Amino acid sequence: MTTLLVIAKEPRPGRVKTRLTPPFTPEEAASLARAALADTLDAVARTPADRRVLVLDGSPGDWLPAGFEVVPQCAGGLDQRLAAAFSGCDGPALLVGMDTPQVTPELLTVSFDACDAWLGDATDGGFWALGLKRPDPALLAGVPMSTPHTGRAQRERLRAAGLRVGELPPLTDVDEAPDAEIVAAAAPRGRFAAELLRLKAGATR
């Protein structure tokens, strides 16, 4: 049974995308986060899978499409929360966050025939996707998160376990305002790009 996991925060002002403020207000940053999450969930919904699970910090809203199970994030650091997300999977699983709305079903459709794991590097040194043929929380617990070397550390953990690691293309996370421009240009027809354009148009009036 193949599972697609999305780990996310409810897009509420002051709780998401705080590094976008300034230049954006907390409300504007939350609207960008909502658009990014909606784009991500749409891509996941269009990707073949047996299960689609949203691992959520907060409560679901009208941005959640049909076909997703919703489970709460556990307490603890990001490594613990990611490990817990995988612990609920029986069979191969691929996990992504809400920071790469330019993701596509083609990128998310991976095969575990020749690989035991998949890793997609983020351009800030982290990773945007992690796939495990046999999910094991020990493959994540203790990996230092949110550093310029997180992706490398996670790859080393996987290889130290003897896993064959496939590489997904690197993507840019939406963390700061310049990132938002890069991501919108990569997916100009998405909700995120449209929302960024709307906010920029409002700022020039």
- Cα-based distances in Å from 58 to 12, 16, 34, 45, 172: 9, 11, 13, 20, 25
Can you list the domains of the chain with their CATH numbers? 3-203 (3.90.550.10)
What does pTM read for this prediction? 0.95
Dump pLDDT digits (tens) for 140-195. 999 999 999 999 999 999 999 999 999 999 999 999 999 999 999 999 999 999 99
From the CB of residue 98, how many other CB atoms can be counted at a distance below 10 Å?
A: 25
Residues 68-110 have pLDDT tens digits of 999 999 999 999 999 999 998 999 999 999 999 999 999 999 9
Measure CA 74 to chain center.
Answer: 17
